[in-house]
Amino acid sequence: MEIFGYVRISTPRQSLQRQIDNIIAVCPTAKIIKEVYTGTTTNRPAWNRLLGKVRKGDVIIFDSVSRMARDSIEGVSQYMQLYQAGVSLKFLKEPMIDTDVYRKAVSESVPMTGTDVDFILEGINRYLAKLAERQIQLAFEQAEKEVKDLQQRTREGMKASGAGEKISRTRTGQKYVRTEHLINSIEILQDCKEFGGKKKDIEIAETLKTSRMNVYRIKRELQERMQTENLTDAELLEILQQELQAQKKQKAKKRK
């Protein structure tokens, strides 16, 4: 039996480390399979190689169901194929749909009586099995919905803050944010209690000479970006600082 840990990110800028740490914490001997690819594309060479390698009795561990598949239809299909092949699947954030749990739900059928009542009991057992399968489908559907909701909220947050602070410009394929907004975001990420700092929201608002509502909005943007791109506080801070430096260089060139 081999135990694999499958970790996946959507862009090279994201970090795999959090997923790796979570898997190693529960299974230090797991062989980590890393996948870096863009969005919801089905081009996942590492995953495809793993599918061709696993055998009956092997185990694949995921940090969450969204790492296995973002498309619910594909996710349920592959889940069932692996389950039927005797491969165990474990989801650290959704243990209720581990294949061991599903197998137990399917096997714990109502015993037959040897009477005409068995016709009813067979129907009940089929229903219970279908209900267990439906739980798996709902988990994949929820994961897909959460990703789409995060992306939508991020777009809406960017649009709302654009009223006075953010603008989008097409420059070498990147989106540029006003210097003031970047500086405020860096300050909040460094000093806000929710990100490991020591200042309350009202103190940050006073320091930045802005409203508490704006502080809340920036905090939400930072949290959603961290979730969407799977970034730690430190990784996002480094990215924002790089964006600020790039913007300063761009302005310096324009002055010349």
| pLDDT for the residue numbered 58 | 97
Indicate if the alpha-carbon torsion angle 13, 18, 23, 29 is positive or negative: positive
Radius of gyration for the chain, computed over Cα atoms and rounded to the nearest angstrom: 24
| pLDDT for the residue numbered 166 | 42
| pLDDT for the residue numbered 165 | 42
- Count of other CB atoms within 10 angstroms of residue 89: 21
Contacts of 124 (CB under 8 A, 6+ apart): 110
| pLDDT for the residue numbered 176 | 44
The pLDDT profile of the chain, 256 residues, written as one tens digit per residue, is 999 999 988 766 667 888 999 999 999 999 999 987 645 455 788 999 999 999 999 999 999 888 888 678 888 889 999 999 999 999 998 898 899 988 887 777 767 788 888 778 788 767 666 767 777 878 887 777 766 666 566 566 555 544 344 434 433 444 445 788 889 999 998 999 888 888 998 999 999 888 888 898 898 888 888 877 777 788 788 888 888 888 888 777 777 6
| pLDDT for the residue numbered 42 | 58
CA 223 to chain centre: 13
How would DSSP label each residue in 137-200?
HHHHHHHHHHHHHHHHHHHHHHHHHTTTT-----BTTB----HHHHHHHHHHHHHBGGGT-SB-
C-alpha span between 220 and 154 (Å, rounded): 9
pTM of the model: 0.57
Residue 60 parent element (H or E): strand 59-62
C-alpha span between 49 and 33 (Å, rounded): 10
Asked if 221 contacts 150 with a C-beta cutoff of 8 angstroms, the reply is no
Q: Which residue has the tokens 């714990």?
A: 108
C-alpha span between 235 and 226 (Å, rounded): 9
Fold of 3-112: Rossmann fold (3.40.50)
